[in-house]
Chains A and B, each alone.
Chain A
Amino acid sequence: MAPLLLRTRLRAGHAISVVLTLIASLLGAGGALLALSGAAAERLEIVWNWPGGALSLQADGLAGVFLLSIHLIAGLTAVYGLEYWPLRHYPGHGRKLLFFSGLMTGAMTLIVLAGNGMLLLVAWEVMAISGYFLVTAESDKAGVPEAGWNYFIASHASGLLLLAFMAVLGHATGSYNFSDGAATGVDGPTANLLFILALAGFGIKAGIFPFHVWLPAAHANAPSHVSALFSGVVIKMGIYGLVRALWILPAPPAWWGAALLLLGGVTAVYGMAFAVNQQDIKRLLAYSSVENMGIVLMAIGVATLGKTANEPLWIALGLCAALLHVWNHSLFKPALFLGAGAVLHAAGTREMERLGGLAKSMPWTARVVLVGAVAICGLPPLNGFVSELLLYVGLFHVQGAATLSAWPAGAFAIGALSLTGGLALLCFTKLYGVVFSGVPRQVLDSTPRDPGWRMRAPMLLLAAACVLLGLAAPWLLPALGSVAGAWAPGLDVRLALEGAMETARGASVAAGLLLGSVAALWGALRWRARGALGRTMPTWGCGYTAGTPRIQYTASSFAQILAAQFEWLLHPITRTPRVDHLFPGPASFSQNTPDLILERALEPGARRIAEQMIRLRFLQHGRVQFYVLYLAVALILFLVLSQ
């Protein structure tokens, strides 16, 4: 709240508010660690004159998992913002940005702590609205208002669905209590309805296909440190809500888990297929967030099926994979977004086709992005590998259980996850290779340089955490396992966790060996190459000596083979020049891939509805007394109906 109180002219205003944010983050992260280590949930109940009952807060392990990443990322992005978005350069919306990011962090804290459905809804709305102001910070730039509207509409759809969820929950259980086991008594059809409402309502926030439509534009158009906050933690609120909702609902039928696996698989492949074909760094990263949420959804599906089939090992594997991936994604995705911000800051563009060769002039940013890219592909020895490994083992257990009717969904998810892994590798070698390798494709006004320490330190910390978590998984798993144990009361998850621990230990040992031997051999080769380092030559052009930077392979051409295979899904808009004369003039080629669901389904559909709605125009004539009449009629109608 500090920026509201501080005058714009005050030079230290920004620093003071960042220091306050850091203090709050440290407190929040400390509380999260306490919640994670404590076996029993801390509760706080305040009786309040409030529709829906008491103001109830609970800090259990699940809340701790999410609190930790909220406060880590909020703190780091605030420090990054000091240099990236300094108040004195952006007097217009700098304060707005500071205020709403603080407000959003507070709202998210309240969401994960809320033990009461109504309280959660209020915090949810606060988060959604402050998010709107953050996305539209630069509302004078092209594309930003549209992205903001998209986000706003999607957030409200999500809010409405959750309102319906809470209403049904309240009707079925008699209270808005939103803590463990609150709704175990509800009957089958109501439980199914609640599941669908939760999946859609929380799914919109998490960016699950086909509810992801708001996500790419919002993440691409927000300032980079806000994108990091969005991708790192805000979309995770949807995951939190879904896990919590599955906690309070009764024993799930097999189709819930199967639906989660199928939806997660489709989301992951869809997100990555679109990410591969983006030429805007931040849009690419945003689509990859869609993919990662699909992976988390699959992991939740494994855990849900574990509840159905009474298999504690599946719950341990599935929920540990989901929560670990939530942590992992909140480390490598902000690292990549902050890296993209540094590139945008230094080079002035986020179009990959204009960049290139930045590893020479921005070595630190290049290292961070390389670590983030390896981690996000789920490759050993970094953190992304551990969660994908646990998920794979869980999926293999599911598909191996021939007695379970949902096992084909597990097999589908394995296929989807492996295709996603391959696509991710293509996508992120393209990101690193096109932006940082080779030579610059365009002459820039000034040589791009690495940012100062206030932007560099958060990026480096996040990259270091990616390496550390890849090695330290066996020490983190017990904490996550006790959350999984509380999530499935009655099943001995603690014992089954030993199975997951074996896998995590294997991954950790492999990561250590891999890091050590690669470093040793790389050092040896480097030492052997010491003579060659001093007298370098141009890249061999295969006999062609008049090459320019423009003949380097571009981002579009790198993805072309796959774009051709996935044309039925992507529908790229391609402008190919006609080259028909003997000496053709200059020509240009362009390709962009707008979102399929947004452009082909939602926008035409909405336009058609709007056209139909014109017929109802006669109701809206501007005479106030008639509006009052409408209100009265509606009120009477509701009173009659509720009898």
Chain B
Amino acid sequence: MTAALLHSLFHVAAFCMLPPLFLGAINKTKALIAGRRGPALLQVYFDLFKLLRKDMVLSETTTGVFLAGPVVAVVTAIGAGLLTPVAGHGAPLVFAGDFVLFCYLLALGRFFTISAALDTGSPFEGMGAAREAAYSCLAEPALFVGLAALSHVSGSMTLSGIVEGTDIAPISVIALVAAAWFLVLLAENSRIPFDDPNTHLELTMIHEVMVLDHSGPAFGLVLYGAALKLFVMSALLSAVALPFGALHPLPGWAVFLCAMLAMAVIIGAVESGMARLRLNVAPKLLFCASLLSAFALVLLARA
């Protein structure tokens, strides 16, 4: 009982504290590949502290929804983190159907991020909001059909059970779903090839352009929420891709940390290796992601 409680506490602490480090690891990887020294590994923490101390500027067109955007994004990402299983022990919160809550929490965060962007009345932020809504709409089937394929194997209705069940799943199914979810991860978190997190040129972006008017602590929450979401989705993907469901809890944490480091390196490598796709090509890549998930189901139908 106390062991489970300790693990839950550690889980919450890890999911709240590590995301900025994860972002730092990605940035470091990109810098090293490009031959630069790059920002410090802890730079995102410094940025967050700086933003929290700053004052805020609000636009005169905004309403309460504008501040709700970053708040809901952070709260829902933490909530999704509580539902994410880690190798060796399940998630702190488990119930039949929790995977739907996981996906819908992220959707709720998106709803308010988009609404906050539209709340400013800025045409640029409207553009970013429209792209975010359209891309994530096409990414949703890939996520759910992939979940369906994995739950078809394990017969489980909880995220922890689904992830544990991947130990017995055919490698081809795991590979297809992992590939599809990796595309979803890149699209949902506005990474290359869907969006470039580094540019601050308004017309090229999705996520950054939606938060142009947020400043100070509100922008800090935006940054933190984005890092949380990236961390949570990476954690889920690594848990699915690695067959360590029945591991002892303590080595489980070690595996988890190594896997997350590997994820950061992979994401950094992908971002260093390719350019952003043209806006009208990106939806096709997301259709591909849905098809990959669907193929995983077709493979299961044959088995």
Residues of A participating in the B interface, judged by any CB pair closer than 8 Å: 356-357, 359-360, 363, 366, 370, 374, 377-380, 385, 388-390, 392-393, 396-397, 399-400, 402, 408, 411, 414-415, 417-419, 421-423, 425-426, 428-430, 432-434, 437-439, 499, 502-503, 505-507, 510, 513-514, 517-518, 521-522, 525-526, 528-529, 531-533, 536-542, 547, 549, 551-553, 557-562, 564-565
Contact = CB atoms under 8 A, between A and B. Distances in A.
B61 A539 contact: yes
27 contacts: A356-B121, A357-B61, A379-B104, A380-B101, A380-B108, A389-B101, A389-B104, A419-B137, A425-B111, A425-B137, A433-B129, A437-B119, A439-B61, A502-B95, A503-B95, A506-B98, A525-B70, A537-B57, A539-B121, A540-B59, A552-B126, A553-B118, A557-B130, A558-B126, A561-B131, A561-B283, A562-B137
Contacts of A426: 133-134, 137
B174 interface: no
Given A423-B137, A528-B56, A429 B71 contact: no
Interface in B188-230: 202, 212-213, 216-218, 221
A84 B221 CA distance: 42
A92 B129 CA distance: 45
A425 B218 contact: no
A400 B75 contact: no
Interface residues of B, number: 83
B75 A521 contact: yes
Given A418-B145, A422-B140, A518-B68, A392 B121 contact: no
- From A378, A437, A529, residue with most partner B Cβ within 10 Å: A437
B143 interface: yes
Contacts of A422: 107, 136-141
Contacts of A389: 97, 100-101, 104
B130 A561 contact: yes
Given A389-B104, A425-B111, 5 more contacts: A380-B104, A390-B97, A421-B107, A422-B141, A437-B61
Interface in B150-190: 151-152, 155, 157
Interface string B103-138: 111011011001100111111111101110111111
Contacts of B136: 422, 425
A461 B68 CA distance: 23
Contacts of B68: 518, 522
Interface of B is mostly: helix
B26 interface: no
A510 B157 CA distance: 17
Nearest to B290: A415
Contacts of B96: 393, 499, 502-503, 506
A425 B107 CA distance: 8
B118 A437 contact: yes
Contacts of B124: 542
Nearest to B74: A521
B75 A532 contact: no
Contacts of B60: 536-539
Nearest to B221: A525
